[in-house]
Structure 1
């Protein structure tokens, strides 16, 4: 599910403050990157059996590369996904997401966007 109108869509920011501020808001990049792309995930546990939710922020390098740490990243529309153990994560619009999870995703993403505003590039 796409989470739109959070302020993150199409934001351009340097990788270093992006890494710092997403980490400060409990989003994890870990090994989810290559030279041109980054992915940050926020894990939300669930009372549902074998279900975990993930909020995902993705972006790609407009300049530089992620490996060197000097990239300028353009962020994409964040996603809300549902992980079905052991099959994987589904991000489709046909998935049903509890309203409290959607609300939490919007709140967290709006907070990240707000934190990134001072570092936003034109």
Structure 2
């Protein structure tokens, strides 16, 4: 599921500042990065299954591995994990409405924090 129209796809921001903001909302970069791309993930374990809120980005300047990069963010995603295959993001997935609402709230708050330092 894509969370469109929140403006994330228009954001270019410093990696270190993004790491700090995302961590405040439980979105962790951990080992989900390479030298050009990042993935901030938050895991939700519910009775309906395991879900991930994911914000992806790629470096438009600098190097993620050196912790000196400017990232272009992409549209946030919500996916369901299926063992052993991985996470599915398709529109045919059923997501609990309470989880969707919670993710929308998190994303709105994250975007407001990011907007404080990118404008």
Q: TM-score range by the shorter chain?
A: over 0.9
Distance 1:116 1:8 in 2: 9
Could you list the runs of 5+ residues in structure 2 that have no partner in the other structure?
none
- Number of aligned positions between the proteins: 119
Larger RCO: Structure 1 or Structure 2 (Cα < 8 Å, ≥ 6 residues apart)? 1
Q: Which runs of 5+ in 1 are unaligned?
A: none
Residue 42 of structure 1 corresponds to: 42
Distance 2:7 2:45 in 1: 25
Instruction: Return the TM-score normalized by structure 2.
Output: 0.94
Higher fraction of helix? 2
Query: CA offset at residue 85 of structure 1?
Result: 2.5
Give matches, 1:1-122, under 5 Å.
Answer: 1-48=1-48, 51-120=49-118
TM-score normalised by structure 1 residue count: 0.92
Per-residue deviation, residues 28-71 of structure 1 (Å, max 9, x unmatched) = 110000000010001111112xx201100000000001011110
Cα distance in 1 for partners of 2:85, 2:106 equals: 26
Moved runs in structure 1, 4+ residues, more than 4 A?
none
